Structure 1
Amino acid sequence: MSILGVELRRSAALGAALTTVAAGVVALYVAPGRWSTGWMALAIAIREYLILMWPLALAAGAWQGRREHRTKVGELFATTARPRAQRMLPVLGAMAITLTVAYLLVTAAGVAWIFTTDRYLPVLNVAVVTGVGVLALIGAAWLGLGIGRTLPAPATAPTLGVAGVLLVFASSFVSPDWLAAAISPIHGTSQFHHYQTIDNQVSAALAIWLAALAGTGVLLLVAGGWRARTAALVPVLLGLTVAATVVPRDPAVLDQPVDPVARELVCTDDTPTVCVSRVHATVLDALTPLAREGLAVLARMPDAPTAVHEDTTTYRLREDRPTPDGVVTIPVRIDRRGGLAHPAAVVPEIVTRLGVEYDGTCRNRNPAVERAAASWLLGREPQPDLGVEEDAETNAGAVTLWQGLRALSDDEALARVTAVRDAVLACADTTGLLSRSPR
């Protein structure tokens, strides 16, 4: 233990840990909105930032690995009675301990940000994703130790640092996709929806590969000749074979898999019902009054919707999830603090489609007519659809139709707006339904 303590204080282990913590925390807080949606999002984001932390650990290990060559004590130590493998244990232990603590400190920095705003914690999955990230750092450091001892040149560490970035990035694009999942520590960490997870079987395959890399590093570190160094390649080859056997081939498991529990709806106890996904349960209280205000606006029309649900469709996976009758779906956005983002947009998003779900199959919809009708219900002038390319005349036409509605009595205007809603439901042409002389 005293030798391990010396290694912890005087080797590159402490510096590697501090550098890793700095890189990880800075990367996290540059864009907290990417992971403020929940615990799994945080765990996945930290794994993604291994593109920075993994090369740093690799380079630190390589720098430490050339210590005996740098201090010219290799021959002296070779004359001692203790086997080299035994002498290297404190070095390996120091690197493993400090980098484990470093990864957990980066995680703790993120947890401090979301602790009070996120309730859904899939303990097993988060622990597995985090554990694989820790193993990735240890494997990188141990591999660097072995390479640094085998190639004890001053340029080895910085070269490995640069090469590590390229390797981590390139490995995530290896084809086929299942092979990338088995060897890349950042595969599957680009987040496309809030219910995303990493399958435990994928994590198991990656853990096997990372353990094999660590084993190769250890063998290189303790090898006494070229035969032993050649034999150090065996763990890599064996680990790759086993990982490729274990990793699943199903694209639904490999390509942004969905956590079904995270996507389950959590609803209000009273009516009108408002529901959000379990991972967004903390914003239900903030969303409910806004959603009910939107339903109240739609309630001016007969047979209006009576509930608002979060749209949990993941379009990237081309899902077709039917909406129950009487329900309006809206996206729920989370801000960088884990609260409800863009609350002012909730009511317009509920009203803008007149309570009718848009599935893209109806080609008779007239955006200017629908926008004018929704704007009349909202009591405001039509606004351009920001972020969407549209005909320059669309909003101008909507303003003209809206002005025509305002000139009518409320009963007549409401009847025409309701006719537009009914035409949309029937997938009929809405053109002319708001004009003074409807066809």
Structure 2
Amino acid sequence: MTTTITATPKAAPHPLRAEALRGFPPLAGAAVLLLLGALLPASADTWQGDWAETADHLHDALVIALPFAAAAGCWQGGRERRRRTEELWGTAGRAPLTRLLVSALPVALWVAVGYLLTVALTTLTAWPYVRGDHPHLSPVPGDTAALMAAALLGHVVGRAAPTTLAAPLLGLAGYAGLGTAVYQDAVSPLNPAVPAVDGFWPVWWQPLALAAWTLGLAFAVTLAYAARRRATALAPLAAALAAALLLSTGNGPWRPDPLAHRQVCDTSTTPAVCVNARYSGMLPQVRAALSGVTGKLHGVHNVPVRWSNRGGEPRAGEAALPMLTPFGWSVVRGRMTHREQYAWEAVAALRGDCGEESERMLLADEAVQAYLAPDPQQRDFDDNDAKGDAARRAHLRASQAARAKLAGMAEERRRTWLSAYLAARAACDDKAVPSL
């Protein structure tokens, strides 16, 4: 008896899989990763250690990433023209829309993958330095959808445009258009690359509405170009317009960040030290930077109740704490730098603003500043005054004498003097400033 074995032919891979794993699409995703990977590290000092800044920089990178995604899609869309295989491709049995999507979707997906990998790597590099808050990933879905939409729209342009220069021209036009749209109030809410507002985050439906706006518009254009029944483009177009209306009306798709308006305080010192809750982990470093000042103010009356880090005018009984942000100066990667400068600025805030000062008040200010937290560059300033005209030299001699007298006082007498000085300063009363 003879047994016949019939080999089952292996199923051919789906064209979409072949397009996604070979050729240009994976390179487009790698290019997005490399492009943003070259852009973001240059400003790492300003966002590493701050989740809000990290999210803002990732979102702001769309100004570069969106035109690039559109140019990548456009380049893929003009592939058959460059190969001169348009007529041959037109004889394929698949419908025009299917052929377009098989070619366009891999680029859109890989561009999204490149951006998501950038988000993941940026988050990992920021994590070790964060001193409060939590990752802000809510803009990521809407931003990813916008990149995919840009690639789809670019693909349609690449198929329709009769020139091989369409891709770079589209990228340049997209970059110019996005930058211009930011300053147009009528279209800014619909611009996916509009800069984030500090202290505000999107409401839960904003990424969904942004995805519906951008992808709906992209699919509407795609269907209008390639579908057999172009009326089917009306459905995604209606979704896009509904999303645009939602984004543009009402109170807008943004909500205040609750942490941005809350203070975290250390009340073990006088004045108490309070920082913004977004940077609560920085409180020990701020307290340490001000420890020399608070130690010298122990037992002194009329000091403000606290230093606050609100970012605006301090409330009654408060003094403005020097800002921790923008990162990259006083704070770099979760560590405070220039602690002496920070303490000097904090003491300057204790005095308040009384406008034009008399010579008596000015000499007292300089003496108090030099005693509590001297300017790190004070020696340079003194050297410059010593080389100045007679008035500057005379003021320098008087200032140095006042500083020396305050520093040489007995502890109890100095506390009494500082209490009277702070009371006079709070009332902006030159005559009440105690003499030195």
* Same-fold status (TM-score > 0.5): yes
- Which moves more between the two structures, 257-266 or 231-240? 231-240
Residue matched to 2:60: 48
Post-superposition offset of 1:111: 1.4
Give the residue type in structure 2 aligned to 1:38: D
Output the CA distance in 2 between the equivalents of 1:8 and 1:160: 23
1:132 counterpart = 2:139: no
Q: 2:337 aligns with which of 332, 335, 341?
A: 341
Give the residue type in structure 2 aligned to 1:81: G
Output the CA distance in 1 between the equivalents of 2:310 and 2:337: 16
- Relative distance call for 1:108 and 1:375 in structure 2 (3 A) is same
Residue matched to 1:159: 169
- Which moves more between the two structures, 138-147 or 231-240? 231-240
1:266 is paired with a residue whose SS is strand
Give the residue type in structure 2 aligned to 1:322: R
Residue matched to 1:433: 433
Post-superposition offset of 1:200: 4.7
2:265 touches 2:275 (CA, 8 Å); kept in 1? yes
CA RMSD of aligned residues (A): 3.6
1:154 is paired with a residue whose SS is coil
Output the CA distance in 1 between the equivalents of 2:393 and 2:284: 34
Output the CA distance in 1 between the equivalents of 2:393 and 2:295: 25
Residue matched to 1:421: 422
Q: 1:184 aligns with which of 183, 191, 199?
A: 191
TM-score norm. by structure 2 comes to: 0.79
- Relative distance call for 1:370 and 1:55 in structure 2 (3 A) is farther
Post-superposition offset of 1:44: 1.6
2:264 is paired with a residue whose SS is strand
2:296 touches 2:372 (CA, 8 Å); kept in 1? yes
Residue matched to 1:377: 371
Output the CA distance in 2 between the equivalents of 1:395 and 1:434: 23
1:218 counterpart = 2:210: no
Give the residue type in structure 1 aligned to 2:310: T
1:330 is paired with a residue whose SS is coil
2:58 touches 2:119 (CA, 8 Å); kept in 1? yes
Output the CA distance in 2 between the equivalents of 1:243 and 1:231: 19
Q: How does 1:7-406 map to 2 (within 5 A)?
A: 7-118=19-130, 120-122=132-134, 126-176=136-186, 179-181=187-189, 183-189=190-196, 193=198, 195-200=199-204, 203-219=207-223, 222-223=226-227, 228=230, 239-240=240-241, 242-248=243-249, 250=251, 258-268=256-266, 273-299=272-298, 301-305=300-304, 307-309=306-308, 311-313=309-311, 315=312, 322-323=315-316, 325=317, 329-333=321-325, 334=327, 335-353=331-349, 355-356=350-351, 358=352, 362-363=354-355, 365=357, 368-369=362-363, 371-378=365-372, 380=374, 397=395, 400-406=398-404
Could you list the runs of 4 or more consecutive aligned residues of structure 1 that deviate by over 6 angstroms after TM superposition? 391-396
Residues 309-345 of structure 1: CA deviation (Å, up to 9, x unaligned): 4x122x4xxxx5525x376633224434232233222
Give the residue type in structure 2 aligned to 1:265: Q
Output the CA distance in 2 between the equivalents of 1:385 and 1:20: 50
Post-superposition offset of 1:186: 2.2
Output the CA distance in 1 between the equivalents of 2:249 and 2:396: 52
TM-score norm. by structure 1 comes to: 0.79
State the number of aligned residues.
Answer: 406
2:73 touches 2:155 (CA, 8 Å); kept in 1? yes
- Relative distance call for 1:394 and 1:245 in structure 2 (3 A) is farther
Identical aligned pairs, as a percentage?
23
Post-superposition offset of 1:211: 1.8
1:7 touches 1:90 (CA, 8 Å); kept in 2? yes
Output the CA distance in 2 between the equivalents of 1:237 and 1:180: 20
Larger radius of gyration: 2
Output the CA distance in 2 between the equivalents of 1:220 and 1:400: 82
- Relative distance call for 1:242 and 1:381 in structure 2 (3 A) is closer
Output the CA distance in 1 between the equivalents of 2:27 and 2:394: 62
Output the CA distance in 1 between the equivalents of 2:185 and 2:392: 45
